[in-house]
């Protein structure tokens, strides 16, 4: 579902272009607010109808009818569950990527599709994979495609109402109320999405009768808690892979392949086995005690993993089953420097919003009889630029120290604002967005786990150029990465430097571009003040 939501971001970007052009045309024609609202409803309806077709064509999905093979136990489970629930068996697709995840999409139940990555099938046990599949089928049975489309329509309608009434004298109060409701409604839609995720989790627990299987799967997927021990998977199971793909995945002495496959010539591949409950408890403490966790959750489509595990523990108790992933007993919030970090995180945004508001809303406020003082804009810009510089330094300071994924995951103090400068060595097992050629982000695996690597660049098109030129060559290679370990809703490392086999080095310049932008804003503010 996470990858599905990320794919939708791309679709919404295209949708936004059409929306902006259509709105400009309607405004030029002087269309009434009712016409503008109808335009939005029609446009969202068209987007809803064509989205599944677009997703199929922008992601590299191998469908079962064309040779991809879901393991027999999982296929039998899906067929049995759908038979019991009176559902048509969804079309099953597999993305050839070592990044473990799954998602579902469609218009109605009868044309629903479920997609899993080959990395997920490697990492999870059959029971855990069944729990994930049941979760996705839960989305299908609950009509979540329709529910979330209707819910997502509300913020757009409110925004449209604001745009087409803000210049009408007698209804300006309504227009700006609609704009305020637009912002609030976006968080309500996200809350609804998180509620639907809990609903699908509950469905999976009932369908499998094994709530802990879903807990274990969520821990492996969200935290990369996998181990390089246990049984081996035969390479011949990946029948959907073309020979040319296998040849491309070979690297240096011997054969190295994507998705953790190694030593193909001996017919064995690296399997990723289960996470220790004690380690899982240590890692989940971050979700429970770090105050940033709830801040990040507010803007997320998915609940915090620890909270989902807590819900599964309650399901297990109701079924009189043993809880294998008990949550930490000590859940006291560790505030630390949270308030200072929150201040330097939000202050540049406050200054930017205040500056924009003063510039754009002066005429509106004057029309309501408010006296708007002048001369404060340069000071606001200076404060905003200075706080931006402090924010950049705070988020990117530190000397790079050698670490492992397993040790990093136990750090409960780290956040997106408070990073750790780290050096990791391991193998790139896939792209951050499986099956997407435009994804520059990568996934690294070392002997202790798997972690998402964010390739952030503030230079226009730099991320896309890396994605289409160099990212694919990194897959399957042993690399050393320097960057900043952070935690949002999931752990990740923002890359600073990637050193690959053969001496190739890739660098990210995001912080330096940000420094330059903040410095320019500061200079402009000072010159503006002195003018």
Residue 455: exposed, middle, or buried by beta-carbon count in 10 A (0-12, 13-18, 19+)? buried
Average pLDDT over residues 323-336: 83
What DSSP string describes 383-413?
HHHHHHHHHHHHHH-S--EE--HHHHTT-SS
Residue 390 has pLDDT above 80, yes or no: yes
What DSSP string describes 177-218?
HHHHHHHHHHHHHHHHHHHHHHHHHHHHHHHHS-HHHHHHHH
Q: How far apart are CA 113 and CA 301, in angstroms?
A: 20
| Cα Rg, the chain, nearest whole Å | 25
Confirm whether 16 is domain-assigned.
yes
More confident site: 98 or 275: 98
Residue 240 has pLDDT above 60, yes or no: no
More confident site: 228 or 331: 331
More confident site: 254 or 210: 210
Pick from 196, 211, 226: which residue ends a domain? Answer: 211
Average pLDDT over residues 57-74: 83
Boundaries of domain holding 39: 2-211
Q: How far apart are CA 291 and CA 345, in angstroms?
A: 14
**Structure-token match 């409960």, residue found:** 412
Pick from 211, 235, 269: which residue ends a domain? Answer: 211
More confident site: 373 or 301: 301
3-state class percentages of the chain: helix first, strand second, coil last, to nearest 5: 60, 15, 30
Q: How far apart are CA 422 and CA 400, in angstroms?
A: 5
Confirm whether 142 is domain-assigned.
yes
Distance of CA 200 to the CA centre of its chain: 18
Q: What is the pLDDT of residues 362-375, one digit of tens each?
A: 666 665 556 656 66
Average pLDDT over residues 8-22: 54
Which of the residue ranges 174-178, 345-349, 424-428 would you say has the lowest mean pLDDT?
174-178
Q: How far apart are CA 75 and CA 342, in angstroms?
A: 47
Q: Give the residue among 513, 447, 442 at the shortest CA–CA distance from 483.
A: 442
Q: Which of 128, 136, 249, 403 is catalytic?
A: 136
In this prediction, residue 485 carries a pLDDT of 96
User: The pTM is what?
Assistant: 0.76
In this prediction, residue 15 carries a pLDDT of 52
What DSSP string describes 308-362?
HHHHHHHHHHHTT---SSPPPS------TTHHHHHHHHHHHHHHHHHHHHHHHHH
Beta pairing class for 420-431 and 401-402: parallel
Q: What is the pLDDT of residues 52-62, one digit of tens each?
A: 888 888 888 88
Q: Give the residue among 84, 90, 88, 87 at the shortest CA–CA distance from 102.
A: 90
Task: Give the Å distances, CA to CA, from 291 to 261, 395, 488.
Answer: 39, 17, 11
Confirm whether 224 is domain-assigned.
no
Residue 217: exposed, middle, or buried by beta-carbon count in 10 A (0-12, 13-18, 19+)? buried
Q: How far apart are CA 287 and CA 372, in angstroms?
A: 44
In this prediction, residue 387 carries a pLDDT of 95
In this prediction, residue 488 carries a pLDDT of 83
Q: What is the pLDDT of residues 102-132, one digit of tens each?
A: 899 999 998 999 999 888 898 899 999 999 9
Q: What is the mean pLDDT of the chain?
A: 80
315 among known catalytic residues: no
Confirm whether 435 is domain-assigned.
yes
Confirm whether 69 is domain-assigned.
yes
Residue 360 has pLDDT above 80, yes or no: no
Q: Give the residue among 1, 235, 244 at the shortest CA–CA distance from 118.
A: 235
Q: Any idea what DSSP says for residue 484? A: E
In this prediction, residue 165 carries a pLDDT of 80
Average pLDDT over residues 241-257: 32
Confirm whether 310 is domain-assigned.
no
In this prediction, residue 7 carries a pLDDT of 46
Residue 213 has pLDDT above 90, yes or no: yes
Average pLDDT over residues 459-479: 87
Domain total in the chain = 2
Confirm whether 283 is domain-assigned.
no
Q: 498-501 long-range CB contacts below 8 Å, 24 or more apart?
A: 498/442, 498/453, 498/455, 498/474, 500/473, 500/474, 501/251, 501/252, 501/477
In this prediction, residue 265 carries a pLDDT of 25
Residue 223 has pLDDT above 60, yes or no: yes
What's the CATH code of the domain at 465? 2.40.50.200
Residue 403 has pLDDT above 60, yes or no: yes
Which strand (E) or helix (H) includes residue 92?
strand 91-95
Residue 449 has pLDDT above 50, yes or no: yes
In this prediction, residue 367 carries a pLDDT of 55
HSE (CB half, 13 Å, CA atoms) of 92?
Answer: 24
Residue 195 has pLDDT above 90, yes or no: yes
More confident site: 280 or 361: 280
Question: How many C-beta atoms surround the C-beta of residue 172 within 10 A?
Answer: 15
In this prediction, residue 245 carries a pLDDT of 42
Question: How many C-beta atoms surround the C-beta of residue 507 within 10 A?
Answer: 12
What's the CATH code of the domain at 105? 3.30.2010.10
Pick from 211, 233, 256: which residue ends a domain? Answer: 211
Confirm whether 301 is domain-assigned.
no
More confident site: 494 or 159: 494
Average pLDDT over residues 185-195: 91
Q: What is the band of 27 on the pLDDT scale with cuts at 50, 70, 90? A: low
């Amino acid at each position: 579902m996470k990858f599905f939501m990320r794919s939708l971001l791309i679709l919404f970007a295209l949708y936004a272009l059409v929306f902006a052009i259509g709105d400009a045309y309607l405004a030029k024609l002087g269309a009434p607010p009712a016409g503008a609202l109808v335009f939005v409803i029609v446009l969202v309806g068209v987007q809803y109808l064509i989205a599944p077709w677009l997703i199929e064509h922008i992601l590299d999905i191998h469908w079962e009818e064309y040779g991809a093979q879901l393991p027999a136990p999982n296929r039998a489970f899906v067929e049995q569950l759908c038979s019991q629930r009176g559902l048509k068996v969804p079309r099953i697709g597999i993305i050839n990527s070592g990044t473990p995840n799954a998602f579902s999409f469609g218009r109605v139940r009868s044309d629903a599709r479920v997609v899993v990555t080959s990395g997920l099938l490697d990492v999870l046990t059959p029971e855990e994979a069944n729990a994930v599949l049941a979760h996705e089928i839960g989305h299908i049975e609950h009509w979540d495609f329709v529910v979330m489309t209707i819910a997502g329509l509300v913020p757009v309608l409110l925004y449209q109402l604001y745009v087409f009434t803000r210049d009408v004298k007698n209804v300006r109060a309504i227009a700006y109320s609609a704009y305020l409701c637009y912002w609030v409604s976006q968080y309500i839609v996200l809350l609804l999405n998180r509620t639907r995720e809990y609903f699908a989790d509950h469905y999976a627990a009932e369908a499998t009768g094994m709530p802990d299987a879903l807990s274990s799967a969520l821990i492996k997927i969200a935290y990369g808690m996998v181990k390089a021990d246990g049984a081996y998977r035969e390479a011949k199971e990946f029948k959907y892979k073309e020979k040319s793909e296998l040849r491309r995945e070979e690297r240096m002495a011997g054969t190295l392949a994507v998705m953790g496959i190694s030593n193909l010539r001996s017919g064995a591949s690296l399997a990723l086995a289960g996470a220790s409950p004690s380690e899982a408890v240590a890692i989940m403490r971050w979700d429970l005690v770090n105050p940033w966790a709830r801040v990040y959750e507010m803007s997320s489509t998915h609940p915090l993993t620890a909270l989902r595990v807590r819900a599964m523990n309650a399901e297990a108790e109701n079924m009189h089953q043993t809880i294998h992933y008990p949550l930490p007993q000590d859940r006291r919030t560790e505030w630390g420097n949270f308030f200072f970090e929150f201040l330097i995180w939000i202050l540049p945004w406050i200054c930017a919003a205040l500056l924009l508001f003063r510039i754009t809303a002066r005429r509106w406020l004057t029309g309501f009889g408010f006296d708007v003082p002048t001369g404060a804009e340069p000071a606001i810009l200076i404060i905003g630029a200075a706080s931006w510089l402090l924010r950049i330094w705070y988020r990117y300071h530190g000397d790079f120290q050698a670490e492992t994924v397993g040790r990093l995951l136990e750090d409960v103090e780290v956040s997106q604002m408070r990073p750790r400068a780290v050096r990791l060595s391991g193998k790139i097992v896939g792209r951050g967005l499986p099956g997407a050629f435009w994804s520059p982000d990568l996934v690294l695996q070392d002997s202790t786990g798997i972690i998402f690597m964010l390739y952030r660049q503030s230079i226009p098109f730099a991320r896309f150029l890396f994605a289409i030129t160099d990212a694919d060559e990194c897959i399957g290679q042993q690399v050393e990465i320097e960057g900043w370990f952070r935690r949002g809703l999931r752990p990740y490392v923002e890359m600073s430097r990637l050193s690959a086999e053969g001496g190739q080095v890739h660098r990210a310049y995001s912080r330096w571009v940000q420094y330059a932008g903040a410095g320019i804003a500061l200079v402009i503010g000072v010159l503006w003040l002195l003018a």
